[in-house]
């Protein structure tokens, strides 16, 4: 069978760029697909704060923060609360990631030119007992240059792969199907969308100008976020949070639509934990929106006052940055889907 490449990677966000860069280092040929135009390379990581989870880092030690692999794993397990049969592999991944974060992760990124702000943040502090939700110590390391600074080295490695003839970048290629011809998924089909000169994050044209079919020995799906499709968010809303809000803001553009989840499932993928989603409760409408319904998160000062819709303080420990999902559960129990900050 003739293959178009060794591997097809679907999605040119940070995960897709990292996967492609590592494949290039292994000498593999890669076709990297994305439905958006080239100016949106890097995906949602570009818009992020670039915060990274490290354990017992030089930045922590300089600030006399005492961290350890054991403490980080305890915090992770207390937060994740793995309690379902399908949590076997998520737990294996969590343990591997804590190993990575306490080991080579920082030096690996540092060798690629990534640098970190010297003050370590304390995201998802928790405020519960030792085995409960949250980080026991600050572990949120902000990348110099925030999200764009984190995307840059991986984009640079991928473009070096293009120059070497190992990578083909195919933007405006929207995947519509995955298929098997030799036991495993090796065929990707889809539509070619017309070129678009819009700025990053803005809505691009969905006019179809052609079709494509590509084959590779392996297919990696690195696209699956659902935050741009509020109907899909509501369809997967956790039961413990009650009725989903009538109005939500979007931290991501509309093209983050979760299409690849259904496409992967149709091809035989086993989707788990659909209701384990993440929402920031300190969100407001962007005063200068880039995409429709553009929401941004407030980074609170040290004396924030947070009240529910009736003017009551949120209960301890539901402070800004402590437990966003616990806060969301409380807010939804009040009968209102907004708060005063």
What is the SS3 string spanning 20-68? HHHHHHCCCCEEEEECCCHHHCEHHHHHCCCEEECCCCHHHHHCCCCCC
Query: By the 8 A CB rule, do 286 and 297 touch?
Result: no
Q: What is the pLDDT of residue 13?
A: 97
- Position 302 scores a pLDDT of 77
Task: Determine the Cα–Cα distance for residues 48 and 41; give it in Å rounded to an integer.
Answer: 14
Distances in Å between the Cα of 285 and the Cα atoms of 171, 231, 303 are 30, 19, 22
* Dihedral sign of CA atoms 330, 333, 337, 341 in order: negative
DSSP structure class, residue 103: T
Pairing mode of beta strands 307-308, 184-193: unpaired
Task: Render pLDDT for 5-27 as a digit per residue (tens, 0 to 9).
Answer: 999 999 999 999 999 999 999 99
Q: Does 42 score more than 80 pLDDT? A: yes
What CATH code is assigned to 5-47+149-221?
3.50.50.60
Instruction: Name 134's Cβ contacts closer than 8 Å, sequence gap at least 6.
Output: 75, 78, 79, 124, 125, 126, 127, 128, 322, 323
Sign of the alpha-carbon dihedral angle for 13, 220, 54, 316: positive
Two structure tokens written together for 318: 């539901």
Q: In what order do the strands lie in the sheet with 5-10?
A: 167-171, 30-34, 5-10, 208-221, 184-193, 173-182
pLDDT reported for residue 1: 73
Query: How is residue 239 written in tokens?
Result: 């039961």
Does pLDDT of 224 surpass 90? no
pLDDT band at 341 (very low <50, low <70, confident <90, very high): confident
Q: How far apart are CA 279 and CA 260, in angstroms?
A: 21
Percent of the chain with pLDDT strictly greater than 70: 100
Residues making up the chain, counted from first to last: 341
Question: Checking DSSP bridges between strand 5-10 and strand 30-34, what pairing results, if any?
Answer: parallel
Mean pLDDT, rounded, for 183-208:
96
Q: Which two tokens stand for residue 73?
A: 């794993």
Contact 51, 147 (CB under 8 A): no
60-113, pLDDT tens digit by residue?
999 999 999 999 999 999 999 899 999 999 999 999 999 999 999 999 999 999
Report in angstroms the alpha-carbon separations of 57 from 111, 154, 237, 251, 266: 15, 22, 36, 29, 42
Domain-by-domain residue ranges, the chain? 5-47+149-221, 51-144
Q: Give kind and range of the element (H or E) at residue 185.
A: strand 184-193
Per-residue pLDDT reduced to its tens digit, 134-189: 999 999 999 999 999 999 999 999 999 999 999 999 999 999 999 998 789 999 99
Helix (H) or strand (E) holding 210: strand 208-221
**CA 305 – CA 313 distance, rounded (Å):** 8
Kindly state the average pLDDT of the residues 27-45.
97
Q: What is the pLDDT of residue 303?
A: 80
Give residue 304's pLDDT.
83
Residue 14, number of CB atoms within 10 A of its CB: 22
pLDDT of residue 86: 95
């Amino acid at each position: 069978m003739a293959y178009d490449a060794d591997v097809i990677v679907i999605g040119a966000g940070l995960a897709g760029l990292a996967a492609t860069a590592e494949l290039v280092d292994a000498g593999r040929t890669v076709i990297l697909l994305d439905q958006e135009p080239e100016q949106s390379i890097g995906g949602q990581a570009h818009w992020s704060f670039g915060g990274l989870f490290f354990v017992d880092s030089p930045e922590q030690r300089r600030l006399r923060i005492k961290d350890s692999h054991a403490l980080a794993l305890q915090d992770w397990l207390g937060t994740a609360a793995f309690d379902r049969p399908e949590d076997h592999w998520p737990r294996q991944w969590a343990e591997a990631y804590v190993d990575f974060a306490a080991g080579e992760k920082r030096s690996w990124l540092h060798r690629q030119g990534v640098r970190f702000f010297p003050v370590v943040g304390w995201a998802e502090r928790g405020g519960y007992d030792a085995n409960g939700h949250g980080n026991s110590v600050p572990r949120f390391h902000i990348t110099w240059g925030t999200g764009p600074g984190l995307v840059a080295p991986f984009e640079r490695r991928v473009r070096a792969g293009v120059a070497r003839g190992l990578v083909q970048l195919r933007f405006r290629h929207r995947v519509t199907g995955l298929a098997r011809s030799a036991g495993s998924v090796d065929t990707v089909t889809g539509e070619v969308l017309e070129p678009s000169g819009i700025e990053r994050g803005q809505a691009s044209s969905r006019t179809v100008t052609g079709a494509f079919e590509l084959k590779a020995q392996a297919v990696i799906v690195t696209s699956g976020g659902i935050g741009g499709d509020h109907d899909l968010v509501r369809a997967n809303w956790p039961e413990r949070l009650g009725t989903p809000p009538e109005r939500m803001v979007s931290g991501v553009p509309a093209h983050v639509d979760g299409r690849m989840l259904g496409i992967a499932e149709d091809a035989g993928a086993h989707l788990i934990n659909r209701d384990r989603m993440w929402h920031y409760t300190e969100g407001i409408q962007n005063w200068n929106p880039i995409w429709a319904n553009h929401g941004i998160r407030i980074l609170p000062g040290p004396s924030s006052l947070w009240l529910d819709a009736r003017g009551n303080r949120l209960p301890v420990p539901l402070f800004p940055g402590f437990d966003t999902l616990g806060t969301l559960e409380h807010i939804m129990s009040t009968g209102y889907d907004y708060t005063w900050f």
